[in-house]
Amino acid sequence: MTMKFGVIGTGALGMDHMRRIQQTLNGGEVVAVTDINPEAAKQAVADLGLNAKVFPDDRTLLAEGNVDAIVITSWGPAHKASVLAGIEAGKYVFCEKPLATTAEDCLRIVEAEMKHGKRLVQVGFMRRYDSGYIKLKEAIENKFIGEPLMIRAAHRNPEVGDSYLTNMAITDTLIHEIDVLHWLVNDDYKAVQVVYPKKTKYASDHLHDPQIITLKTESGIIITAEVFVNCKYGYDIQCEVIGEEGIVTLPEVQSVTFRKDAKYGVNLLMDWKQRFIEAYDVELQDFIDSIQKTGEPGGPTSWDGYIAAVTADACVKAQESGGWEPVTLKEKPDFYRTNQ
């Protein structure tokens, strides 16, 4: 049975997801699209050769698009309304990060999904599907390094534009580490702190860059995560878990080693789109397969989206205060207590 998708937001990632649904994955088809820029939606249909109808907005698409599921790849502030509309219509929802821009709005989504009575929502935290992070999690779960004690992470972009603001280092960029790192060690965050090292000359006047975020978990693990979005040299994601008996490190991106012009080295990526390209495929294929097999998506839930939002809120507060800020989560509902 082919899953009929409606896509809300036909920009960069929307195009990527439509392309993978149509050309790479099994069991899905894009039959409806919408964008606040209607020309962008029409162009997407033409460029991808879709047999899809363009709708004026998400609600009309849900009402008339004859879809089984929606993919939300609009701007973050628009996600909440589309997620709630999808749940109200009883449709499955794949929502790109963030689930919503505030913890309060994530709770509204949690309440709506629980009221509906079964899980409909998967959040696009694709690093959980990356083979490197999966290998890290397996090593930790198998006690290969003993108990994890510390994590050192780095999220580096070659450069960002003037529209990139200090808080986006948390809400847009670190949000990936916020989700994947507590999943990695199966622990909750307790408190966070942000410090600003010496600023790079390549950062806009208004932007603190780099930033170092320290996260403390309930079991006492200390995570230091560097966000450096004008590092110039490449798009570089690092993660090292230090345990009682050893260390496990996220594998480097595969590249040929070269010897040329009296140099020896490897190529680094410059574009985030390539770094987790397989994980994007796997997360969406899992969304399709899990729904067809169990009637529910199997990936990161609305509750994971809530955890990320609460933690991000604390980090943004810590950017201002310079001190430790608590991460205070509500009790996890049984509705979301499934093995992931």
Ligand X SMILES: O=C1[C@H](O)[C@H](O)[C@@H](O)[C@H](O)[C@H]1O
Ligand Y SMILES: NC(=O)C1=CN([C@@H]2O[C@H](COP(=O)(O)OP(=O)(O)OC[C@H]3O[C@@H](n4cnc5c(N)ncnc54)[C@H](O)[C@@H]3O)[C@@H](O)[C@H]2O)C=CC1
Which residues make up the interface to ligand Y (CB under 6 A)? 8-14, 34-37, 40, 58, 73-76, 78, 96-97, 124, 126, 172
CB 79 → ligand Y: shortest distance, Å? 6
**Contacts with ligand X: how many residues (CB under 6 A)?**
5
CB 257 → ligand Y: shortest distance, Å? 27
Closer CB to ligand Y, 44 or 231, in the complex = 44
DSSP-assigned letter for residue 247: E
| Whether 153 contacts 242, CB under 8 Å | no
Q: Which of 333, 275, 280, 281 is nearest to 304 (CA)?
A: 333
Of the candidate residues 58, 130, 172, 313, the single one contacting ligand X (CB under 6 A): 172
Q: Is the peptide bond before 98 cis (omega within 30 degrees of 0)?
A: yes
| Whether 236 contacts 268, CB under 8 Å | yes
Please state, in angstroms and rounded to a whole number, the distance separating the CA atoms of residues 22 and 197: 45
Residue 22, helix vs strand vs coil? helix
Residue 134, helix vs strand vs coil? helix
| Whether 74 contacts 68, CB under 8 Å | no
Of the candidate residues 272, 324, 335, 336, the single one contacting ligand X (CB under 6 A): 272
Please state, in angstroms and rounded to a whole number, the distance separating the CA atoms of residues 266 and 312: 34
CB 15 → ligand Y: shortest distance, Å? 8
Residue 65 binding target from ligand Y, ligand X, none, CB below 5 to 8 Å by type: none
Contact code string over 151-170 relative to ligand X, x by CB under 6 A: ------x-------------
- Note whether 176 binds ligand X by CB under 6 A: yes
CB 229 → ligand Y: shortest distance, Å? 13
Residue 173 binding target from ligand Y, ligand X, none, CB below 5 to 8 Å by type: ligand X
CB 299 → ligand Y: shortest distance, Å? 12
